[in-house]
């Protein structure tokens, strides 16, 4: 049972899980407690076969996530900072490779680790009042939770360098134009749009197929084309013996909607 004092709220709406960073008074900045809660939630989702899509968002109307909690960070020793960064890098990797689609509903400010959290998700939808940026260089550090690697893969090397070197923020319109987000909607419609997308995936696709497509895309992007095609072929092989594939063929012949079970 979640309470308003918990740093992360976990809700279920059918087959969709909604993770809400719950520190609106701190612009949903990530502290040690939030990181631990996020890691535990993602670990739980790995084994939850009933959840077939995940939405990540922030509490309140001002911020998705303002990055690391700098007030807490100021009291850390260098060794503690290194451990925090190790943990957050691992959590971002677990989100990126979660065998379910993860949608970031960016409901306002997303700076530093907030943008890195969005980058670790599969699809990003931004509210029209959102502002994003990897601002770490303005604090004499660099993005440490995957930003230097995921941003250039999404928007290109030159644009990523410009944004990281300057620490410049981009508004929702520019984020859409450069490919940092896939959609921009009015703030009041953001969560509904994210839920609609999640439900479209859940209601129309096979869970094993989605997991394997995500695996093939993520791994294939890191290798040459021939190796990527080999990864795709192996991922396709996983889907062939599934009950869902047989069900899809049967439903097609019977002119009805298939019922997928993830088997």
By annotation, the residues acting in catalysis are 116, 136
Helix (H/G/I), strand (E/B), else coil: 248 = helix
Return the biggest CA–CA distance within the chain.
64
Distance (Å, whole) CA 106 – CA 104: 6
Helix (H, G, I), strand (E, B) or coil at 63: strand
205/190 Cα distance (integer angstroms): 23
Phi, psi at 69, each rounded to 5°: -75, 105
Q: How far apart are CA 124 and CA 187, in angstroms?
A: 14
Q: Where are the alpha helices (DSSP H) in the chain?
A: 32-47, 70-74, 78-97, 113-120, 147-155, 157-166, 172-178, 190-204, 207-220, 225-239, 243-253
**What is the enclosing helix (H) or strand (E) of 35?**
helix 32-47
């Amino acid at each position: 049972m979640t309470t308003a004092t918990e740093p992360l709220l976990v809700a279920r709406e059918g087959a969709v899980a909604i993770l809400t960073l719950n520190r609106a008074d701190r612009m949903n900045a990530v502290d040690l407690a939030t990181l631990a809660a996020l890691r535990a939630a993602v670990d739980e989702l790995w084994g939850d076969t009933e959840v077939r899509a995940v939405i990540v968002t922030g509490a309140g109307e001002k911020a998705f996530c303002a990055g690391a909690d700098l007030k807490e960070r100021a009291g850390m020793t260098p060794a503690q900072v290194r451990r925090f960064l190790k943990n957050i890098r691992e959590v971002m990797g677990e989100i990126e490779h979660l065998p379910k689609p993860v949608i970031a509903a960016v409901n306002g400010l997303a700076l530093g680790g907030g943008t890195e959290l969005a980058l670790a998700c599969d699809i990003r939808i931004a509210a029209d009042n959102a502002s994003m940026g990897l601002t770490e260089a303005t604090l004499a550090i660099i993005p440490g939770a995957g930003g230097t690697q995921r941003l250039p893969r999404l928007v290109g090397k030159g644009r990523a360098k410009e944004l990281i070197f300057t620490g410049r923020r981009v508004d929702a319109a520019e984020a859409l134009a450069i490919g940092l987000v896939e959609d921009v909607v009015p703030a009041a419609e953001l969560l509904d749009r994210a839920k609609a997308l999640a439900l479209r995936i859940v209601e129309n696709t096979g869970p094993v197929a989605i997991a394997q497509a995500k695996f093939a895309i993520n791994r294939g992007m890191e290798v040459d084309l021939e190796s990527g095609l080999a990864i795709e072929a192996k991922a396709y092989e996983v889907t062939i013996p599934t009950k869902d594939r047989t069900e899809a063929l049967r439903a097609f012949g019977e002119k009805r909607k298939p019922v997928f079970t993830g088997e």
